[in-house]
Amino acid sequence: MNMSTQLNSNQQEAIACTKGPLLVLAGAGSGKTRVITSKIAQLIREEFVPESHILAVTFTNKAAGEMKRRAMGMLNRPHLGTTISTFHSLCLRILRREAVLLGYTSNFSVCDSADALSLIKRILSETGRKNQKEYAPKKVQALISAVKNQSASDRKLEQLPAIDQILDQYDAALRQNDLMDFDDLLLNTVAIFEQNPSILAHYQSQFPYMLVDEFQDTNATQYRLIRLLAETAIHICVVGDEDQSIYGWRGADFENILNFPRDFDGCRVIKLEKNYRSTSKILDIANAVISHNSMRNPKVLYSDIHTDGEFVLYEAPMPQEEGVFIAKQVQALRQQGVPLNDIAVLYRANYLSRTMEDAFRRRNIPYRIVGGYKFYDRKEIKDILGYLRIIRNPSDNLSFRRIVNVPRRKIGPATIEKLESIHPVLFKSLEQLPDRFPRKQELKEFHSIIESFRKREDFGPDFLRDLIERIGYIEMLKAEEETLEAETRMENLSELVTVVGDYLDAEENPTLNGFLDTVSLLSDTDEIEDDDRVNLMTIHCAKGLEFNSVFVCGLEEGTFPNQRTMGSSRELEEERRLMYVAITRAKQNLYLSFSRERGWKWDMNRKKMSRFVKEIPLNLLKVNRPVTGLSHSRLLTAAHSSSIQPKHPNSDNSESTCTIQKGDTVMHHSYGEGAVLNVVNGNRMVVKFKRAGIKVLNSRLVQLKKD
């Protein structure tokens, strides 16, 4: 047995258990994923289970791909008929066959979050809620999802009483457009199963063996789906760790772990307590942090790896210095022979990657951003996909609105509104245009382009090339962008053509539907990148991964934990779990860093060190400071050597950002003269202008008028 297939006795026990329900409960790096992978191989090889009878559910497409690759490696097979996928891809596959039962066509499309958001914006403005702050589109979108999954808190429902009405309109619009959002994929599958016992039975018998990874991050709907599918299963195995539950904000509920033994009779519970990933010192740090959570069951996690490593805490005066520190450390690690691939820089939010990128670029250190801004989010890609979607599904008003005037056809909002009154399905209205109608020529031309491609049965690279050619997209790019920008966009389009080619090669019977499905769920960059680069990603993105050396940056109060989570202990504990996940990605070296100031170039704010760092006993970390920052380093030393925080009464921001006070008279370039009524946070102020009335604005926009 080689290293990559070794199993300890608890793991072996978990794998040997192939009947009935099984819950594997274990901390980070204890080999849960390995248990699932080995179990797939074991079932096929030793128990002669037909490979198609196994269903394994993972959290991301990337994880699914990786698991499949490993299982094929263990079985020494070039192909594997086992379904290994995310809940969403699984449901989409089922719905393509069954959704007609719910009144969708078999060509329904999946609406991504951006499309859904634009629909929500339209509904909000149609109902006159456009500029109401409590109905911020993103908030509404999150709440819609929560309501659909029955995980909305009463407090939030009360805050937005109109949510029911908005939700009705939203769902009605999706239905009319033959669209499903991400939640619908799961909900509609559950609905079909609940309403059609024979269909449920069919899928139950197709998957008598069910395995679920990252179980702590399943939401109520996913759990229902598991219960339905596993009702008659020979074996259902779920693995998870409540300390790694980091998707509560999306409706995930780690209580599912506690409910599982109750809901599945005769459930066995196996715990794995040995960590194979990290040194014992890293686990000490991780445990110190997570032990501050109250909503958890304490558990044992130990490591036999007692080798040394570096555990550094770095205080930077500014984000740029933080970047420089990380870049320098990376270079040092590289000197020591650590591959860049085995190094990760983790952060709470995507925007924090900017300063890191700068630092790496300046020093010519190769890096890659995992997740973040996606290929399929680019304008040109979404435009072309919009065409493909309207070709496949003419009811898709969202895509219609997106592309009907791209490239410019002089068809604006006013014309679209007229179309709407002819037929609620915009594309259909093109077939019923009255004799006199604005832009009739352009509309008919657009219609005939779409129709001509709908008739073609030869979806593939040439189809796509013809489409791009026919709509004049390249000319549009050349005409309206500077050449450099146009250049990259054109490269992206030819990349898309290549993607279609790859899809055609990989698929046995390729269809436009199939391609769009793959694309709409494939959010992470799935390409196997094997060139040696430092990995930059959010902590959420790093779940399930491991690296020799891990940097966690932006460890300030308000950044991590994020400001918005600091009001609720539930959310704060989720932030702490996120910190736990971050720390436990490291095998050997761990570098924590924060900056004493954070913000935008023009709006920097003083920050305190994150409480999560304070929760680590000082003797576990080596504290570093930049030479230039010495004069300002009281914060860190004081924070760590005693519990007393040195107070910086407003002197912090007032001197650097704002010399204007309440009562001053100020000038604004367009509002004119006004009196300052109030100053908030040192940089935002309420001003009563003589002509323009009361405004709230940033202090940098006004000048102090000397009396």
Ligand X SMILES: Nc1ncnc2c1ncn2[C@@H]1O[C@H](COP(=O)(O)OP(=O)(O)OP(=O)(O)O)[C@@H](O)[C@H]1O
Partner DNA sequence: TTATGACGTATTTTT
Partner DNA sequence: TACGTCATAA
Q: How far is CA 628 from CA 121, 315, 360, 363, 374, in A?
A: 48, 11, 20, 20, 37
7/17 with CB nearer ligand X: 7
Smallest gap from Cβ 32 to ligand X, in A, equals 3
Q: Which stretch binds DNA (CB under 7 A): 15-23, 226-234, 280-288, 561-569?
A: 561-569
Annotated active-site residue 181? The verdict is no
Q: Name the DSSP class of 609.
A: B
Is residue 603 within 8 A of residue 657, CB to CB? The reply is yes
Residue 296 as a binder of ligand X (CB under 6 A): the answer is no
For the segment 293-322, give every residue that binds DNA (CB under 7 A). none
Burial 250-277 (b: 16+ CB within 10 A, else e): bbbbbebbeebbeebeeebebebebbbb
Contact with DNA (CB under 7 A) among 13, 284, 451, 524 = 524
Residue 182 as a binder of DNA (CB under 7 A): the answer is yes
Q: Which stretch binds DNA (CB under 7 A): 256-264, 395-403, 533-541, 579-587?
A: 533-541
Contact with DNA (CB under 7 A) among 350, 492, 511, 653 = 350
Contact with ligand X (CB under 6 A) among 23, 28, 120, 609 = 28
Q: For residue 95, what are the contacts with CB-CB under 8 A and spacing of at least 6?
A: 104, 108, 180, 185, 188, 189, 192
Distance CA 550, CA 587 (A): 8
Annotated active-site residue 213? The verdict is yes
Q: How far is CA 168 from CA 120, 147, 154, 162, 183, in A?
A: 11, 11, 19, 10, 15
Residue 570 as a binder of DNA (CB under 7 A): the answer is no
Smallest gap from Cβ 192 to ligand X, in A, equals 32
Q: Which stretch binds ligand X (CB under 6 A): 32-40, 298-306, 420-428, 697-705?
A: 32-40
Residue 254 as a binder of ligand X (CB under 6 A): the answer is no
Residue 14 as a binder of ligand X (CB under 6 A): the answer is no
For the segment 235-294, give every residue that binds DNA (CB under 7 A). 246, 249-250
Residue 698 as a binder of DNA (CB under 7 A): the answer is yes
Q: Which amino acid is at 704?
A: L
Phi, psi of 144, rounded to the nearest 5 degrees: -55, -45
29/317 with CB nearer ligand X: 29
Residue 438 as a binder of DNA (CB under 7 A): the answer is yes
* Lookup: tokens for 133: 């702050």
Residue 179, strand partner residues: 109
Phi, psi of 706, rounded to the nearest 5 degrees: -70, 140
Distance CA 85, CA 73 (A): 17
Smallest gap from Cβ 55 to ligand X, in A, equals 18
Query: Residue 363 binds which entry of ligand X, DNA, none, with Cβ cut-offs from 5 to 8 Å by kind?
Result: none
Residue 611 as a binder of DNA (CB under 7 A): the answer is no
Distance CA 473, CA 490 (A): 9
Smallest gap from Cβ 384 to ligand X, in A, equals 36
22/352 with CB nearer DNA: 352
Distance CA 276, CA 558 (A): 33
For the segment 581-600, give every residue that binds ligand X (CB under 6 A). 584
Smallest gap from Cβ 240 to ligand X, in A, equals 8
Q: Which amino acid is at 441?
A: Q
Residue 540 as a binder of ligand X (CB under 6 A): the answer is no
317/371 with CB nearer DNA: 371
Residue 653 as a binder of DNA (CB under 7 A): the answer is no
Distance CA 254, CA 243 (A): 9
- For the chain, what is the radius of gyration of the CA atoms? 28
Q: Which stretch binds ligand X (CB under 6 A): 28-36, 154-162, 433-441, 495-503?
A: 28-36
Q: Which stretch binds DNA (CB under 7 A): 65-73, 314-322, 516-524, 528-536?
A: 516-524
Residue 412 as a binder of DNA (CB under 7 A): the answer is yes
21/240 with CB nearer DNA: 240
Contact with ligand X (CB under 6 A) among 276, 302, 375, 376 = 276
Q: For residue 683, what are the contacts with CB-CB under 8 A and spacing of at least 6?
A: 603, 653, 657, 658, 698, 699, 700
Which stretches within 336-424 are classed as H helix?
353-362, 379-392, 397-403, 413-422
Q: Is 345 helix (H, G, I), strand (E, B) or coil?
A: strand
Residue 702, strand partner residues: 668
Phi, psi of 356, rounded to the nearest 5 degrees: -65, -45
Nearest Cα residue to 614 out of 309, 301, 316, 292:
292
Distance CA 499, CA 509 (A): 16
- Length, in residues, of the chain: 707
Nearest Cα residue to 46 out of 16, 73, 69:
16
Contact with DNA (CB under 7 A) among 173, 327, 411, 583 = 411
Residue 7 as a binder of ligand X (CB under 6 A): the answer is yes
Q: Which stretch binds DNA (CB under 7 A): 330-338, 406-414, 443-451, 618-626?
A: 406-414
Q: Which stretch binds DNA (CB under 7 A): 34-42, 70-78, 558-566, 585-593?
A: 558-566
Residue 210, strand partner residues: 55, 236
Residue 421 as a binder of DNA (CB under 7 A): the answer is no
Contact with ligand X (CB under 6 A) among 88, 235, 277, 382 = 277
Annotated active-site residue 480? The verdict is no
Q: Is 160 helix (H, G, I), strand (E, B) or coil?
A: coil
Which stretches within 430-472 are classed as H helix?
440-455, 461-471
73/412 with CB nearer DNA: 412
Residue 313, strand partner residues: 592, 623
Smallest gap from Cβ 496 to DNA, in A, equals 19
Distance CA 396, CA 399 (A): 6
Annotate each residue in 555-584 with x if it binds ligand X (CB under 6 A) or - if it does not, as one string: -----------------------------x
Q: Is 506 helix (H, G, I), strand (E, B) or coil?
A: helix
Residue 546 as a binder of ligand X (CB under 6 A): the answer is yes
CA atoms within 13 A on the CB side of 692: 15
659/681 with CB nearer DNA: 681
Q: How far is CA 58 from CA 18, 372, 394, 518, in A?
A: 19, 20, 33, 16
Contact with DNA (CB under 7 A) among 371, 386, 558, 682 = 371
Contact with ligand X (CB under 6 A) among 14, 15, 34, 92 = 34
Contact with ligand X (CB under 6 A) among 6, 105, 569, 645 = 6
Annotated active-site residue 485? The verdict is no
Is residue 40 within 8 A of residue 68, CB to CB? The reply is no
Smallest gap from Cβ 429 to DNA, in A, equals 14
Contact with DNA (CB under 7 A) among 449, 486, 620, 701 = 701
Residue 31 as a binder of ligand X (CB under 6 A): the answer is yes
Q: Is 691 helix (H, G, I), strand (E, B) or coil?
A: coil
Preceding peptide of 434 cis, ω within 30°: no
Contact with ligand X (CB under 6 A) among 371, 394, 544, 674 = 544
Q: For residue 467, what are the contacts with CB-CB under 8 A and spacing of at least 6?
A: 384, 387, 388, 453
Residue 107 as a binder of ligand X (CB under 6 A): the answer is no
Residue 11 as a binder of ligand X (CB under 6 A): the answer is yes
Choosing from 66, 115, 213, 322, which is the catalytic residue?
213
Contact residues toward ligand X (CB under 6 A) are 6-8, 11, 26, 28-34, 241, 244, 276-277, 544, 546, 584
Contact residues toward DNA (CB under 7 A) are 59-61, 86-89, 113, 121, 130-131, 136, 138, 142, 182, 246, 249-250, 348-351, 371-372, 405, 408, 410-415, 418, 438-439, 521, 523-524, 538, 540-541, 562, 564-565, 600, 668-670, 695-698, 701
Catalytic positions: 32-33, 213-214, 244, 585
